[in-house]
Structure 1
Amino acid sequence: MGSLLVISAHAGDVVWRAAGSIALATSAGDRAKVLCLTFGERGDEVDPSVVLTHPPADPYNQDHPAAARMALRARVLAQAAGYDAPGEPLGAPPVFFEPHQPEQCDFKPDVLLDITPVFDTKRKAMECLPAQQHMWGYYTDLARRRGVQVKRNAGPDLGLPHKTMGEAYMRLYPQVTDRLS
């Protein structure tokens, strides 16, 4: 069982950009925790295998890069040997993000995620935010466009459904591996 930690400046931001990832992880039996930095909300200490957060640059939402800086600092401190903290240093989970306005945030996705099996769950989560109905269509269309990218990059052998839905992410740290695949 893996775990997913999502760090967000606002509760709604999680729905728009990561609800598919959360639904996919939990439908596979993984744990998902959301840490919302909005006043009055708090998260617990976890040892995540993946972290999703905001982009380090966002000219329209200065609280998003602030949340990203906090998440990245926490990741560094959690894995730092010699840092005065209880317990052993934790691992170094990969950190991913997708911004609301990718063109303004130097976003170049290098991870595409097929969320087709859980898109209806993401859509229902979006609909729980009636004050932002204008975003429902935008993020449905974006998931459809990301689905096209998923299919194109996966190749014809995977037999993905015609109406593939996706999310795209950019890694903040390089992947460490013992072989290229």
Structure 2
Amino acid sequence: MQKEFVVISAHVGDFVWRCGGAIALHVAAGYKATIVCLSYGERGESARLYEEPGMTAEKARARRRAEAEAAADVLGATIVFLDGSDYMLRVNDEMLHKTAAVLRETQPEFILTHPAADPSNLDHVTTFNFALEARMVAQAHGHPGGAVIGAPQVYSFEPHQSELCLFKPDTLLDITSVWEVKRKAMECLAGQKALWDYYERVGLQRGAVSRRRQKGKATGPIYGEAFQSVFPARVDLL
């Protein structure tokens, strides 16, 4: 049976910047990836689009959706839109139960989402809590739907300003082999072009940190991504 995982993203760009490498890497290894995108970021994360004459929130929403679909296609993932609005992101029971249904359908090995704290973007905090609620609903026998899920690990991906978010990564992923795929996905996001090079620098920095954490003296990763696990991991040996 094919293994699957789910990404729960506040805005259309988040899943690309923060974990596009993880998505591409696991898809290349045979996993199926499903991205649940709560909003299009047409208000707070599309400033460049509003430089165009006649731009409206509705036009920006359509543009950002197309960008997200293109990026997901590059990464090899399926994307589900919940059609929320950003800044401020408000979730509802329909969105929650739709996401719980995705979790039951996919039976994910793990879930990727935002960290618990982000004072510079409360939409991300809302999404973290939403992801845990959806996981909880998907575990509950009393709700209708498919088979309940187990207890998949939840990994918070690296926020834009880690120092503000109490982000302490405990997992470093080597994404060197899929970096060009991630870069191509980033370049689908024309509405946030200013972030392309920024997140390349983040990838290089995490690659450098990863090299210091490996055994031996091999060359090691060039590009990396960082994650913080939410739950303890069950192991047989250290």
TM-score w.r.t. the length of structure 2 is: 0.69
Q: What SS does the corresponding residue of 2:39 show, helix, strand or coil?
A: coil
Aligned to 2:171: 111
Residues 85-110 of structure 1 deviation map (CA, whole Å, 9 limit, x = unaligned): 44443111110112121110000000
| 2:80 corresponds to 1:79 | no
Q: Quickly say closer, same or farther: Cα 1:86–1:153, change in 2 above 3 A.
A: same
TM-score w.r.t. the length of structure 1 is: 0.90
Q: What SS does the corresponding residue of 1:11 show, helix, strand or coil?
A: coil
Q: Runs ≥4 in structure 1, deviation > 6 angstroms?
A: none
Aligned counterparts, 1:54-133, within 5 A: 54-80=114-140, 82-97=141-156, 98-133=158-193
Letter in 2 for 1:179: L
Structure 1, unmatched stretches of 5+, are none
For 2:112 and 2:145, how far apart are their aligned partners in 1? 25
Aligned to 1:48: 108
| 2:226 corresponds to 1:168 | yes
Q: Quickly say closer, same or farther: Cα 1:165–1:73, change in 2 above 3 A.
A: same
For 1:148 and 1:91, how far apart are their aligned partners in 2? 35
Aligned to 1:141: 201
Aligned to 1:9: 10
Aligned to 1:35: 36
Letter in 2 for 1:174: P
Q: CA deviation at 1:84?
A: 3.7
Letter in 1 for 2:152: P
Q: CA deviation at 1:49?
A: 0.6
Q: Quickly say closer, same or farther: Cα 1:85–1:179, change in 2 above 3 A.
A: farther
For 2:146 and 2:27, how far apart are their aligned partners in 1? 28
Letter in 1 for 2:18: R
Q: What SS does the corresponding residue of 2:226 show, helix, strand or coil?
A: strand
Residue identity (%): 45
Q: CA deviation at 1:155?
A: 2.3
Residues 119-172 of structure 1 deviation map (CA, whole Å, 9 limit, x = unaligned): 011011111112212111111011001001111101225x344x6100000001
State the Cα RMSD in Å.
Answer: 1.8
For 1:68 and 1:136, how far apart are their aligned partners in 2? 24
For 2:219 and 2:234, how far apart are their aligned partners in 1? 28
Instruction: Please tell me whether the aligned partners of residues 137 and 143 of structure 2 are also in contact (alpha carbons under 8 angstroms).
Output: no
**Number of equivalences:** 177
Instruction: Please tell me whether the aligned partners of residues 8 and 111 of structure 2 are also in contact (alpha carbons under 8 angstroms).
Output: yes
